[in-house]
Structure 1
């Protein structure tokens, strides 16, 4: 399985992601520049990653400009053919802006940037354990209308929820006010994934936390 990591102007988590995939997870990685279009070296068994950061400075709206980059047009085509796509933080925002995932990421309910370790759990797995994963965002509050939320619940598209250390989903464990404590979702076809927490920042023994590896194992079967 190959991973392509897109670098946008303003990306600041691309190196974290590349190092995590190469060194911690022993995966092949190809860097992709936002102005390029060629994804011919990837098959639908591979994955394109949109890392966190502040693409194009987030001057208009988080992810709104990156959505129109040449590479994203190819990513949309790749995803529509069944290729795997993962968006982390700003990458999640770009996926929502591009229409590959439903909903929107709004400003945090407390109107402040949040940067800390939080706990998340697999939404569809009964008794799943809490994972400690860091977040770092100012616009991470997932929101969608009632009908969309109903569809996400019905089709089990909610992949992670914010929880406390014991795995209980509570208002106090929600770092940004996201509806239903949603930390990550996928599309109906289950090949496009987006989440606000940063598993690539929690996948190294030198950081004292390898819970992020469990995210990659859950989504792609690698560890």
Structure 2
């Protein structure tokens, strides 16, 4: 059985790294380390030593150039101390079967970096972007999301619905063209959709869809199913008492069910 070694990347405005690491440990990660981006480039951390990579939420670079844009540029052009481009390390990480989870700002980074949706397995080629919420304001509330059971995503296996908190100002998916959106739909790369809390069905209705993303997209995966990016925060629902319905006796599945699936996948793929 493989050991699950999780790397949580922080710095430059990220502020959910501790929650994300805590969620990974609760999910069964054998080793979980929070590291700064500079630790990777300086060679103090060896990316090949890990098999689960988490890009947490926060306000990366203050979103000054658009959500995740500056972070994506940093990863695209940076190299390690010995001159190895970080994109080369990331590609090798994926080739070894590693899993990647991007949450909120981390999702924005993955999209801007071109790791999602990766149609035709064209990684590091931007195909969609994320922009301002339709509401024109920061949205901070709990939402219900519906899992696409036809998706190849390993994180969402055997899950139907989740209640999760959202807290973002730029969460609306914008594909480069209608053909891109059509392929994302037909190839089942939509992993999660905002859902009506009464019917459980995908919805475009505000506030259940907090940002106006087409097809109610709340999260995307890649064709391998080993990369997941989502705007809601699964790491922030790591205990039943986190849920606003706790005192009313509501006991929905924890958000860390996504990370538990990731851990099970890695342990079963030595």
Output the TM-score relative to the length of structure 1. 0.88
Runs of 5+ in structure 1 lacking a partner? none
8 Å CA contact 1:129, 1:167 repeated in 2: no
User: Pairwise CA RMSD of aligned residues?
Assistant: 2.3
Q: CA deviation at 1:199?
A: 0.3
Q: Matched residue pairs, number?
A: 218
Correspondence 1:169 to 2:202: yes
Is residue 8 of structure 1 aligned with residue 17 of structure 2? no
Given the alignment of the two structures, is residue 91 of structure 1 paired with residue 106 of structure 2, yes or no? yes
Partner Cα separation in structure 2 for residue 219 and residue 82 of structure 1: 12
Report the alpha carbon displacement of residue 50 of structure 1 after superposing the two structures with TM: 0.3
Correspondence list, 1:1-223, <5 A: 1-22=4-25, 24-27=26-29, 28-35=31-38, 36-37=40-41, 38-42=46-50, 46-67=51-72, 68-69=74-75, 70=78, 73=87, 74-79=89-94, 81-102=96-117, 103-124=128-149, 129-144=160-175, 145-165=177-197, 166-172=199-205, 173-208=208-243, 210-221=253-264
CA distance in 1, matches of 2:242, 2:61: 29
**Structure 2: distance between partners of 1:76 and 1:137:** 28
Bigger relative CO (Cα 8 Å, ≥ 6 apart):
2
The answer to whether the 8 A contact 2:240-2:254 is kept is no
Per-residue deviation at 1:113? 0.4
Q: Which has the larger radius of gyration?
A: 2
SS in 2 for 1:60: coil
* Preserved contact between residue 14 and residue 52 of structure 1 (Cα < 8 Å): yes
In structure 1, the residue corresponding to 2:48 is in which secondary structure?
coil
TM-score normalised by length of structure 2: 0.74
Q: Is the 8 A contact 1:9 1:55 kept in 2?
A: yes
